[in-house]
Each structure stands twice: as structure tokens, then as C-alpha cells.
């Protein structure tokens, strides 16, 4: 029999890493993918010495770590508000407070662990190089980041009806605007899950920035290199796609019974991801319009949107849970990558669009909400 801690770890820790697979893929690309393997250790050591020896750089790193702990804290708090997780209030409330604090600590450090590991290595380098003040700052900040969220978890448990600031924004928008269906999901993200959409967009922008930085420093521009960065940016949106399916399952299942054609539903799906990817298209256009033709930009945009729409359409398969979804999206990405490297961009785009349309038109009417099987 699994213990309460193991069940809670599956609910919080495992779900966090699955839901944020795209985020960690982008992070892995940023930390390891842009560096030659032979220079990887020297690169990270130089990076650590850079922020240990420069307080402005150190402040930026600490700010990023704090942003990550906010993401972790927000995930745990939001889990309590998800449909079907109401039992967490009674489950956590029935645990004695000392044991509950330990449980909160283990759950929180479990999802904060990537920062703790990197900070621990940086701490060893700091001590070795006699950067004692930066080392002390790193220790204090990470201890604080492991402790102060626990008070928020306790507060949430005592006051389950806490409304975040977006509640006021949501009520104001509802009074003044009538939303078209294409904006339903985006409205949900910006009002109820702002950290999720903002963090995704920040990391997506960061990967594009790194892509352009690498090409600028190498004094070259390769459209295929840009498309590689765009594909990684698309993968960062996978957690939003899973959330999109959950939103449709919970709130928009009534739309299947409306006198609306499948083609209109498909156009709505395309519209959602065109609007969602619009910030990235603006970033790409600003940085690449003088380096490639309009046809090149259109090719990049069509590749990205085709991948987004196909990855979302895959979730109409009945047994497509987040773990299986990641496998198929990665496999598809590798196939498309090889086609791009072989200069078969438009055949890849046409295949992606055809696959998306076939899956959507075949599965949309017969789709039933995904239910996680009991194990």
C-alpha cells in the first residue's frame, strides 16, 4: 500500500515535471544544447564564476531562481483549485501540523530540486574560489525559498476561498467585453493561470533570443538553425496544450452539440494557436526580416503553427496522456527536423497540416474527455 506521502508526491511532484516537460526541454537546450559537449564543464564553471564575481549578474540569477520558486508555489496552490482535487483539503488537514509541515517541505523541495542542485554546485565552486559573500547569499536565498512558500500552503489550507488578483481583472473584463469563442481559452489562461502563460512565453522568447545570439556571434544566418530554435519554442508550449484539452473537457464540451460545422471548429483551433504564437512571430520578424526573405519567414511561421496544431490534435486520441503525448511530439519533431535539414520544409508542412486535419475531423465528434486510469 502506498503511503500518503507517495500519493501526494505523485499528485504534486510527478505532475509538475510532466506538465512542465516543455519548460524543462527549453531549459535543457539553453544550458546544454547551445554548447559543444567537450566544453560543457568549462562553460558552466565560467558561468558560475561570472555570477559569483559580479553582483549584478548574481542578482539576475537570484531573480531567476526566485521566479522559479514562484512557479513551483503557484503550481501547488493551483492544484488545490483543480476539479477533482477537493479531497486534498481534507487529506492535508487531517495530518498533524508538524508532519504536515514536513510533507509540505518535501513536496516543495521535490519540485524546487533543479535549482537546489545547480545552486549546490555553484556553492562548491564559490567556496573553492573563496567567494564567501556570494556563497552566503546563495545559501540564505535558497533556504528562504524552501521555507516561505510553506506559509502560503498553510494559508491556502486554512482559507480555501482565497481569490488571486486576477479575480478582479476577470470580473472587469466580463462586464465590458463579449469574447468570441477563439478567445475563450486564452482568456482562461490570462485570468486564472497568468503565471503559466507568462512563464511559457518568457522561456519561449529566451530560446529565440539564444538562437539569434548564437547565429550573431557566429556571424552567420541559417534559416534551418532558426527553425530548430522555433521547434524548441513550440515544444515549450506543450503544457499549454494539455491545459487546453482540460479546459475544453471541462467548459466547452457543449460546443459539440451546437449547429456549428467541423470546419468552423477547426478554424477556431487554428485561430487559438495563431494568436498564442503571435508574440514569437513578432520577435522572429524583428530579428530576421533583414536577413531572409518574406518566403523564409512564412516558411518558419507555417512550420511552427503546423507543429502546434498537430500536437494539439494528437490530444484527441482517447488514451493520449501527457507522458505518451511527449513521446509522440518528440518523435514528430525529430522527423520534421530531418526533413528541414534536407530542405524539405514545405513537404513537412503539408504532411503536418494533413495529419492535423485528418485527426481532427475523424476524432473531434467521437472524442471523450481523458480520464487517468487508476493504478
pLDDT of residue 162: 54
> Region 205-223: what's the mean pLDDT?
83
Residue 61, judged by CB atoms within 10 A of its CB (0-12, 13-18, 19+), counts as buried
The predicted pLDDT at position 165 comes to 47
What is d(CA 15, CA 25) in angstroms, rounded to the nearest whole number?
A: 16
Please give the pLDDT value at position 274.
Answer: 95
pLDDT digits (tens, 9 = 90+) for 26-75: 777 767 766 666 677 887 888 888 888 888 888 888 988 888 898 888 88
Q: Residue 310: pLDDT above 60? A: yes
Residue 375: pLDDT band (50, 70, 90) is very low
The residue-averaged pLDDT of 3-32 equals 78
Whole-angstrom Cα distance, residue 357 to residue 317?
Answer: 13
Query: Which among 93, 114, 112, 111 is positioned nearest to 4, based on CA atoms?
Result: 93
pLDDT above 90: residue 347: yes
pLDDT tens digits for range 142-193: 999 999 888 888 888 877 755 544 555 666 767 777 788 888 888 888 877 7
Q: How confident is the model at residue 96 (pLDDT cuts 50, 70, 90)?
A: confident
**pLDDT, position 86:** 74
What are the pLDDT digits (tens) for 264-296?
Answer: 999 999 999 999 999 999 999 988 888 888 898
**pLDDT above 70: percentage of residues in the chain:** 92
Residue 22 has pLDDT above 80, yes or no: no
What is the mean predicted confidence (pLDDT) over 238-248? Answer: 88
- Indicate the pTM of the whole model: 0.62
What CA–CA distance (Å, rounded) separates 65 from 59? 10
- Structure letter (DSSP) for residue 11: I
pLDDT digits over 117-138, tens only?
999 999 999 998 888 899 999 9
Cα distances (Å, whole numbers) of residue 168 to 122, 165, 177, 190, 365: 41, 6, 14, 12, 36
Burial class (CB in 10 A: 0-12, 13-18, 19+), 161: exposed
Amino acid at each position: 500500500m502506498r503511503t500518503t506521502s507517495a500519493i501526494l508526491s505523485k499528485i504534486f511532484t510527478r505532475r509538475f515535471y510532466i506538465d512542465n516537460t516543455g519548460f524543462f526541454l527549453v531549459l535543457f537546450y539553453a544550458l546544454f544544447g547551445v554548447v559543444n559537449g567537450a566544453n560543457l564543464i568549462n562553460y558552466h564553471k565560467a558561468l558560475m564564476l561570472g555570477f559569483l564575481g559580479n553582483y549584478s549578474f548574481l542578482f539576475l540569477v537570484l531573480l531567476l531562481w526566485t521566479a522559479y520558486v514562484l512557479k513551483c508555489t503557484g503550481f501547488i496552490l493551483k492544484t488545490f483549485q483543480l476539479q477533482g482535487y477537493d479531497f486534498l483539503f481534507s487529506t492535508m488537514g487531517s495530518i498533524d501540523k508538524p508532519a504536515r509541515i514536513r510533507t509540505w517541505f518535501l513536496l516543495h523541495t521535490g519540485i524546487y530540486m533543479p535549482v537546489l542542485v545547480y545552486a549546490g554546485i555553484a556553492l562548491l565552486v564559490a567556496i573553492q574560489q573563496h567567494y564567501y559573500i556570494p556563497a552566503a547569499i546563495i545559501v540564505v536565498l535558497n533556504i528562504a525559498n524552501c521555507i516561505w512558500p510553506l506559509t502560503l500552503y498553510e494559508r491556502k489550507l486554512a482559507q480555501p476561498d482565497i481569490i488571486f488578483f486576477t479575480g478582479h481583472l476577470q470580473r472587469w473584463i466580463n462586464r465590458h467585453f463579449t469574447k468570441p469563442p477563439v478567445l475563450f481559452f486564452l482568456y482562461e489562461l490570462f485570468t486564472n493561470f497568468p503565471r503559466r502563460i507568462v512563464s511559457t512565453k518568457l522561456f519561449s522568447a529566451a530560446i529565440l533570443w539564444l538562437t539569434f545570439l548564437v547565429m550573431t556571434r557566429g556571424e552567420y544566418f541559417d534559416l534551418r538553425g532558426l527553425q530548430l530554435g522555433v521547434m524548441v519554442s513550440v515544444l515549450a508550449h506543450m503544457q499549454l496544450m494539455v491545459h487546453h484539452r482540460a479546459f475544453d473537457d471541462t467548459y466547452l464540451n457543449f460546443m459539440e452539440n451546437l449547429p456549428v460545422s467541423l470546419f468552423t471548429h477547426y478554424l477556431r483551433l487554428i485561430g487559438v494557436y495563431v494568436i498564442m504564437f503571435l508574440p514569437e512571430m513578432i520577435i522572429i520578424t524583428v530579428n530576421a526580416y533583414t536577413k531572409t526573405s518574406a518566403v523564409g519567414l512564412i516558411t518558419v511561421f507555417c512550420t511552427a503553427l503546423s507543429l502546434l496544431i498537430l500536437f494539439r490534435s494528437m490530444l484527441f486520441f482517447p488514451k493520449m496522456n501527457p507522458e505518451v503525448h511527449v513521446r509522440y511530439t518528440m518523435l514528430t519533431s525529430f522527423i520534421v527536423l530531418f526533413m528541414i535539414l534536407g530542405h524539405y520544409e514545405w513537404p513537412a508542412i503539408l504532411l503536418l497540416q494533413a495529419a492535423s486535419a485528418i485527426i481532427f475531423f475523424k476524432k473531434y465528434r467521437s472524442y471523450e474527455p481523458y480520464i487517468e486510469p487508476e493504478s
